Amino acid sequence: YGNTLYAASIEGHEPGVKLLLDMGADVNAQSEQYNSALQAASFRGYDQVVRLILDADADVNAWSEQYSSAFYASYQE
């Protein structure tokens, strides 16, 4: 998965995402092969996880080769 926050986000594990963010996980970290936690949660349609990540001041304009932006990722699946 690349990083722990990304893994929790793409699986929709809301309690895990909240815990990681509360413990200071980098909300904008990009994994080596994948993308940001926001893009992952957007892609999978996990609205509550997306909200947690946005509330933690995620960069909504973050760009990656795979999903482009979180907005674009939300329309991919």
**Domains contained in the chain, number:** 1
What is the chain's pLDDT, residue by residue, as a tens digit (77 residues)?
568 999 999 999 999 999 999 999 999 998 765 688 998 888 889 999 999 999 999 988 876 666 566 555 555 55
Rounded CA separation 48/9 (Å): 10
Q: Write the CATH number for 42.
A: 1.25.40.20
Structural domain range at position 62: 3-74
Q: Give the pLDDT of residue 68.
A: 62
